Amino acid sequence: MGRRYFCVAADVYLPPVLASSACELAVIAVASVIPSRNTLLNLRTLDERARVAFARVQDWVYHPDNLTVRFMRICSHKGLVISVLTRNEHCPPHVHVGTTQWDARYRFSFWHNGVELWDVVPGRRGPSMALAEELRQVIQQPAHLWRARERWWLSKHTVCLDNQQWDGEAEEVVSPQRYRPSAIDIVSARFDPWQDRTILQLAGQSSPLEIEL
């Protein structure tokens, strides 16, 4: 069986001839035949990190029994694609970047502009300290950070501030477990990508709090 491609809409992780520059969301129904063993690799047998690494390098072929994998591209650095995944992801907000040898996750926020390395799996094969810092700085660039927030909000519909509090004196989000007299419960929170701001509705407040990012 020769390699074939099936793409619903993609501008990343597929050869340029199959890419659609008009679509940022890569929706790919995938499976792959391993020629040396002539076996079908089903993504259901792989965990999240394995799917991420496999998706970055393989030529995808279509099989009706396979899962649909979605990637939302943020940017790239030295050939490494930084993206938000839209399946089986969870808070805190984060992006993925890596190779077939490692996968790194970087955390970002909807109330401040900091970015930090969350973890690398497996740690012994991860990027050098210099490359890890370069990637962090690339993600932290305003345009890239805005895109990461936009992609996360569009795919998850959460800014991951549920059950948290806002300390108006310190101007920061805090956990209710760490009592502060000036902290107020966050009733709801949303991201406005057009204005690049996070809007918090605080308990007992008639007007929302807008955080300009």
**pTM value?**
0.69
How distant is the alpha carbon of residue 171 from its chain centre? 26
pLDDT of residue 39: 31
Question: Does residue 7 lie in a domain region?
Answer: no
Q: Domain count of the chain?
A: 2
How confident is the model at residue 158, as a pLDDT? 96
Residues 173 and 136 in one domain: no
Strand partners, 104: 97, 120
Residues 55 and 102 in one domain: yes
Q: What is the pLDDT of residues 134-169, one digit of tens each?
A: 999 999 999 999 999 999 998 889 999 989 999 999
Q: Are residues 37 and 120 in the same domain?
A: yes
Lowest mean pLDDT among 133-137, 179-183, 206-210: 179-183
**pLDDT-above-70 percentage for the chain:** 67
Residue 9 lies in a domain: no
Nearest CA-CA partner of 41 in 33, 51, 52, 29: 33
* Structural domain boundaries enclosing 171: 165-212
State the pLDDT confidence band at 87, using cuts at 50, 70 and 90.
confident
Is there a single domain that holds both residue 207 and residue 136? no
CB 153 within 8 A of CB 189: no
Highest mean pLDDT, choosing among 26-30, 38-42, 88-92, 206-210: 206-210
Q: Are residues 151 and 177 in the same domain?
A: no
Whether residue 147 is found in the same domain as residue 88: yes
DSSP state of 2: -
Work out the average pLDDT over 186-210.
Answer: 95
Cβ within 8 Å of residue 188, ≥6 positions away: 200, 201
Same domain, 140 and 194: no
Q: How confident is the model at residue 70 (pLDDT cuts 50, 70, 90)?
A: low
Q: Please indicate, yes or no, if residue 46 is contained in any of the structural domains.
A: yes
Query: Which of 156, 175, 200 is the endpoint of a domain?
Result: 156
Q: What is the pLDDT confidence band of residue 13, given thresholds at 50, 70 and 90?
A: very low
The reply to whether 117 and 64 lie within a common domain is: yes
Q: What is the pLDDT of residue 16?
A: 33
- Does one domain contain both 126 and 21? yes
In a domain, 2, yes or no: no
- 6 within domain boundaries: no
Q: Tokens representing 152?
A: 């996360």
Contact 165, 180 (CB under 8 A): yes
Q: Does residue 4 belong to any structural domain of this protein? A: no
Residues 41 and 122 in one domain: yes
Same domain, 136 and 178: no
